[in-house]
Amino acid sequence: MALEDAKTQVDQAFTRADPRGLSFENAFGGATSFLRRRYTKDLTGVDVAVTGIPFDQAVTHRPGTRFGPRAIREASSLQAFDAPYGWGYDPLSLLNVADYGDMPFDYANIRDVPARITAHIGAIMDAGAAPITLGGDHFITLPILRAMAERHGPVALIQFDAHSDTWVDDDPDRIDHGTFLYKAIRQGLVDPAACVSVGIRTDNPDTLGVTILDAPSVHQDGVQATLERIRAVVGDRPTYVTFDIDALDPAFAPGTGTPVWGGLASWQAAALLRGLAGINMIGGDVVEVSPPYDTTGATAIAGSHVAFELIALYGWNRRG
């Protein structure tokens, strides 16, 4: 069936009739939407809207994540054939997943970007869809969380990251990927008692009340113990999941702005995301994929897998 379909399926980003189902279009050609989903700005009936925010002007070191959404979409074309391994169901057949395209913005008017992101994500949520965002640097998660909090109140947060992103930043005009969580906490967008950061391996003595499950603890105590701790923090509260690709070790994700050794292996990340099945997830993102530093494409591949896992995680509670 798959091989037969490859003779006719092409450019499913704009030719597919059924928004649900796997795709057998040749991986190496055609228009590259995320997982060959339909590109649309009409979210009627859409369960999950994948969207790119190619903003990278908040970085402390190497830029390039503005190219992230495009690279992740291209990498995803190899994954559209199969349901993600190990879940036991196919989220692409269960859910109507659309590629909502990228957020437009004036690259030279950075001050305008945060409110634009909040409005962009808010519009997706108000249409009844869950946003899965492809970054972009980690700053974008702050205005995304504002859209979440406006509709849910202070939310629970699971952050995968090498960095806490809670460095002190009391200047409301600063736009910095290293302080998104500091500001989200100070602005009441998240409840720090329901926030957990996984994979951390940079020092920041003031945790602001966030539970830190650093990378050594994951390595030493294992995936199951880590999962139990994450679940104990977020419970069944509305939970946003943000995945900074530098949570992975540079061996698995070299193409990122601020790589740190000693990180998670991709199998650990996969096991952690799958092990979270059942949480009350309201949206998620994968950020900090920087294609100019991604010489093998491994980082974009990892980013694509993370985004697909986030969709599977969202769909889990919605199985019939």
Which residues lie near Mn ion (CB under 5 A)?
138, 161-163, 165, 244, 246
Strand partners, 132: 50, 284
Residue closer to Mn ion, measured from CB, 60 or 224: 60
Residue in 103, 313, 107 with CA at minimum distance from that of residue 227: 313
The whole-angstrom separation of Cα 164 and Cα 229 is 17
Measured in degrees and rounded to the nearest 5, phi and psi for residue 128 equal 90, 10
Residue closer to Mn ion, measured from CB, 97 or 253: 253
Min separation Cβ 48 and Mn ion, Å: 23
Residue closer to Mn ion, measured from CB, 152 or 177: 177
Cβ neighbours of residue 292 under 8 Å, at least 6 residues apart? 62, 63, 64, 67, 255
Evaluate whether 182 touches 263 at the Cβ level (below 8 Å): no
Residue closer to Mn ion, measured from CB, 32 or 159: 159
Min separation Cβ 79 and Mn ion, Å: 24
Min separation Cβ 197 and Mn ion, Å: 9
Min separation Cβ 288 and Mn ion, Å: 6
Residue closer to Mn ion, measured from CB, 24 or 139: 139
The whole-angstrom separation of Cα 38 and Cα 17 is 9
Give residue 208's identity as a one-letter amino acid code. Answer: L
Residue closer to Mn ion, measured from CB, 47 or 244: 244
Helices 141-152, 113-126: inter-axial angle, 10-degree rounding: 40
Min separation Cβ 200 and Mn ion, Å: 9
The whole-angstrom separation of Cα 315 and Cα 277 is 9
Min separation Cβ 64 and Mn ion, Å: 14
Q: How far is CA 37 from the centre of its chain?
A: 17
